[in-house]
Amino acid sequence: MFESRGLAEILLTVFPLVLLFELPAYLLCWLGVISYALRRKARPQLDAFRPRVSCVVTCYSEGRDVGKTVETLIEQTYPGVIEILIMVDGAVQNRATYLAAREWQESARRHPSRILKILPKRTRGGRVSSLNAGRHFATGEVVLALDGDTSFDNDMVWHITRPFADPQVAGVSGALRVRNASASLVARLQALEYMLTIQLARTGLTAFNTVNNISGAFGAFRASLLDSLGGWDAGTAEDLDLTLRIKKRFGTRERYRIEHQPLAMGHTDAPTEWKVFFKQRLRWDGDLFYLYVRKHWHSLRPGLLGWRNFIMLMWTGVYFQLVMPFIIVGATLWLVWSLPWPVLLAVLGLTYVFYTLLTGALFLSYLLLLSERRRQDWPYLAFVPLFPFFTFASRVWNAFATLAELVTRQHLDSSMAPWWVLRKTRY
């Protein structure tokens, strides 16, 4: 039946999904990034604004690597007070991390505006337990939630606190780079992904106050708002969960903002093996279904979120993350089953060329308008031709992870929190 259909007709069947749903999102990000680039130099630096900052660093099995985090926080150029709270989870079995953190106490004492507190939690309670315990001890006006294996540029605190001069800013997402990108191909592809999805996309969305998430590894929050929300909920994907809970106030009289600060730079390690990468994404992608459908579906409405964030959450969250993977899998299977091989190869080839050119345009936009390390970043142009394959594999796996969460409720067996914590707290 399909032998008689021309290539043009096939493309007109498939590509409207791209033109109607994907390209507008990329164009919106481009407009936002251009807006950021134009106003970056004109934005006041607010030198007199120096709020007290509390860094809650969650640790479990980092060992001596936690020293990189502590060192980069002690050596911040920020002139205000920085309180560093090292939350050692399960300190009995995690003694190596506890002892490694203690080695930096003398160094912290040599900096009068740096306060280092090492707080061991005898029993393991999970990441959320550590964050809430740290929030209890934090005395800063701005609270940073940080991973114990993430290091930072020495001007990070300065940059991430600038937006809080606006009393309507509730939280700020920090930028992340893949520190071990040279270790393997999958690490390099994740580094490119971080440039496009964290730096480019979130910077663009900031212009419209529609930032989709504040990363759990590196995010900043107004302490008074954290207190009014009761801190973090237990369970998994606590970063997106807290972002959604903040956004529920966007549609009320409390006109809050969430911003991304591309100049506040953190460095983290990404999985270096495909097996570990897919295991990580199984949890991450399954969490999206849990949060959007199981936990927050009843509150995804314009009255709470405001129309802009409601539309963006339904578009870039529910549709892009939960619906599109199944469309991609279904469309691919339909094409393979229905088309003769010459037509199939032509369609797949044109699709690959389209997404390679799109990725190249996005990467060049990032390189020219956002990158603060262009000499380090430009070689990633060589990996742009591989990125469509990486994205396709990630989307197919996303569909599998969504089905796994739908059937097994895998978020209840998360490594982020022990089962006894999940049974006794809200999630």
Q: What is the pLDDT of residue 1?
A: 44
pLDDT band at 88 (very low <50, low <70, confident <90, very high): confident
Strands of 82-89's sheet in order across: 114-121, 82-89, 53-59, 142-147, 218-222, 169-178, 257-268, 151-152
Q: Which long-range contacts (CB under 8 A, 24 or more apart) does 102-108 make?
A: 103/67, 104/67, 104/70, 104/71, 104/74, 107/71, 107/74, 108/70, 108/74, 108/84
pLDDT band at 201 (very low <50, low <70, confident <90, very high): very high
State the Cα–Cα distance between residues 245 and 316, nearest whole angstrom.
17
pLDDT digits 0-9 by tens, 99-113:
888 888 888 888 889
Amino acid at 218: F
pLDDT digits 0-9 by tens, 152-179:
999 999 999 999 999 999 999 999 999 9
Classify residue 269 by its DSSP letter.
-
pLDDT digits 0-9 by tens, 247-281:
988 877 667 899 999 999 999 999 999 999 999 99
What's the whole-number average pLDDT of the chain? 87
- What is the pTM for the complete model shown? 0.90
Give the domain ranges of the chain.
Answer: 43-271
What CATH number labels 43-271? 3.90.550.10
CB 359 within 8 A of CB 383: no
Rg (alpha carbons) of the chain, rounded to whole number:
22
Residue 275: closest CA among 196, 386, 184, 150:
184
Residue with tokens 């990108």: 181
Q: Which helix (H) or strand (E) covers residue 95, if one does? A: helix 95-102
Through-space distance between the first and last CA atoms of the chain, rounded to whole angstroms: 51
pLDDT digits 0-9 by tens, 336-349:
888 788 888 888 88
pLDDT digits 0-9 by tens, 32-46:
999 998 887 666 667
Q: Helices 185-194 and 274-289, interaxial angle, to 10°?
A: 40
